[in-house]
Structure 1
């Protein structure tokens, strides 16, 4: 079958251009196989990273038809089938299938599909991604774990540092201080590790502003593109739960946001917006600056007749409350 590959090519500090390459391929050929053929047979100047060719090293991560993935894992047949399910009014019935290849996002391009991953590694280092046993006396033998303790590390231990989640992270795109889903997934591995002695310090660091867990927008893109099912968002949520279990609502606005939302839904089945603003932004009338910041919005809502003067609980409030309490009890039992 013939496939038209559109490769986004770019020199450092220059505008990207699209180069097209026509290949005769088999459905089972991987995208990396095709890129190798383009380089060997048509254009030796094409630059991209590769190494193991077996979904182990993560070197060949790139954007394939708009989503970050491993070129050695995705094949032509499955990619064409995926594209066929996406409506495209301008696509002709008998047109040659096209596959677009682009560099990873959220990182500057060095050349073609090769990006500078400096920020990726620096943000990983920022979460101190290694076990600290400094507080312990050096033992005569290694620090041992039970099989149950070790099993808590399995999922995050599968991360191959490919950068796919970092590439797709919306929070990282708008907030350069956010460390990224890869770093926080690794951070949870340290929090969950029974050998580590700095859990409290770690949680304080991960709770700081929007560079840690509260900077995540929960868009789910990191989970969707992870080739190893690490589920970074799930690990970020686990860190949040550890922080919330240790902090009172007045500790920060981020913590109040989560705690107040749950309390109001338990009380009324949905959120009483009046109470939400006062309790989260105004810190239960303790934060006068926060309360004053709500005044312009409140006045606009009153002027347009959109300010809720009363609140009625939703139908099934008791059922909602029971569900939340059951989940909380289940989480507490696991801890």
Structure 2
């Protein structure tokens, strides 16, 4: 089949540009095989990373048709079926670009150092205390080891990092890859630093609370690690041991749930005061939202009363069932 590759190329200190390459390939040819063909037969200056060619090493991660993926895993046939872009001659088009949220070195090669630096922030290895077991191995039961399988499947390809909306607007956010590894360590029976780890992951929007739950990391992960789900488990662990007075992110979650349980939806009159104003304890917080409150009152947008929603009892029952199920799951 005929296909046109449109590759976003870039040289150091220069602006990116789109270059087109026409190929004759089999529908089952992978994106990586097509890039190899371009490099070997049309333009030897094209730069990209590759290694295992078997979805193991994660080296060939890039953006294919607007989403981050492994070039050795995706093939031309599926890409042209899922994304029906064609050029002026009616030939299917596959667009390839470097990963997002990382500096471009050249063409499809990005500088992964920020990715590794963020991973290092969660100390992604069993604690020193856990490793100090004299004269014997630190054994785990099959059940204990099985709990680590999903997070252990991460190949650090960077796809989730590339798509992370939170990272794109908040450089301090540690990233979904790091938090997925962090959850693995919280689950690991050999690690002895769970309390300290949870405290560090509670670092406002730099830690677990920085995740905006956009789901893109789950969507693009080639190994089904589900980083967003792992981040959710960290948040649940924090909520279980923290009170509403510990931090604003914790307060935000707890107040949200409490208000919905009470009235079926959020009572906006109380939400800002309880979360930002810390139940009237944080005078600076109250002062920060006071101008907004006055503007809302003057424009008639501040609710003077609150009517519980229809079905409040049913909503409350559902929340309590979920909370009970979470307790049993963590038992």
| Preserved CA contact (<8 Å) 1:133 1:195 | no
Q: For 2:239, what is the secondary structure of its paired residue?
A: helix
Are residues 1:250 and 2:245 paired? yes
Shift of 1:110: 0.8
Aligned to 2:194: 199
Cα distance in 2, alignment partners of residues 10 and 36 from structure 1: 18
Change over 3 Å in CA distance of 1:329–1:308 after alignment to 2: same
Cα distance in 2, alignment partners of residues 94 and 3 from structure 1: 11
Change over 3 Å in CA distance of 1:326–1:312 after alignment to 2: same
* Alignment equivalent of 1:312, drawn from 296, 307, 312: 307
Shift of 1:300: 1.2
Q: For 2:94, what is the secondary structure of its paired residue?
A: strand
Aligned to 1:29: 29
Once the two structures are superposed, residues 202-227 of structure 1 have per-residue CA deviations (whole angstroms, 9 ceiling, x without a partner) of 11111112211111111111111100
Aligned to 1:208: 203
Aligned to 2:265: 270
Q: Which moved more, 1:10-19 or 1:247-256?
A: 10-19
Q: Where do residues 101-180 of structure 1 align in structure 2 (5 Å cutoff)?
A: 101-134=96-129, 137-180=132-175
The total of aligned residue pairs comes to 330
Aligned to 1:76: 76
Cα distance in 1, alignment partners of residues 80 and 309 from structure 2: 46
Once the two structures are superposed, residues 32-74 of structure 1 have per-residue CA deviations (whole angstroms, 9 ceiling, x without a partner) of 0100000000001100000010100000000001100000000
Once the two structures are superposed, residues 281-333 of structure 1 have per-residue CA deviations (whole angstroms, 9 ceiling, x without a partner) of 11101011111111111111111111101111111111111111011111101
Cα distance in 2, alignment partners of residues 69 and 156 from structure 1: 18
Shift of 1:141: 1.9
Shift of 1:138: 2.1
Shift of 1:146: 1.8
Shift of 1:139: 3.3
Q: Where do residues 284-299 of structure 1 align in structure 2 (5 Å cutoff)?
A: 284-299=279-294
Are residues 1:222 and 2:217 paired? yes
Structure 2, unaligned runs of 5 or more? none
Cα distance in 2, alignment partners of residues 238 and 13 from structure 1: 42
Are residues 1:282 and 2:277 paired? yes
Shift of 1:92: 7.2
Change over 3 Å in CA distance of 1:73–1:333 after alignment to 2: same
| Preserved CA contact (<8 Å) 2:46 2:107 | yes
Cα distance in 2, alignment partners of residues 62 and 136 from structure 1: 36
Once the two structures are superposed, residues 152-205 of structure 1 have per-residue CA deviations (whole angstroms, 9 ceiling, x without a partner) of 111100000000000011111111111110000000000110110000001111
Aligned to 2:326: 331
Superposition RMSD on alpha carbons, in Å? 1.3
Structure 1, unaligned runs of 5 or more? none
Cα distance in 2, alignment partners of residues 278 and 147 from structure 1: 48
TM superposition score normalised by structure 2:
0.97
Q: For 2:245, what is the secondary structure of its paired residue?
A: helix
Q: Where do residues 30-69 of structure 1 align in structure 2 (5 Å cutoff)?
A: 30-69=30-69
Cα distance in 2, alignment partners of residues 31 and 129 from structure 1: 32
Q: Which runs of 4+ in 1 moved over 3 A?
A: 91-94
Are residues 1:235 and 2:242 paired? no
Cα distance in 2, alignment partners of residues 17 and 92 from structure 1: 17
Cα distance in 2, alignment partners of residues 13 and 310 from structure 1: 58
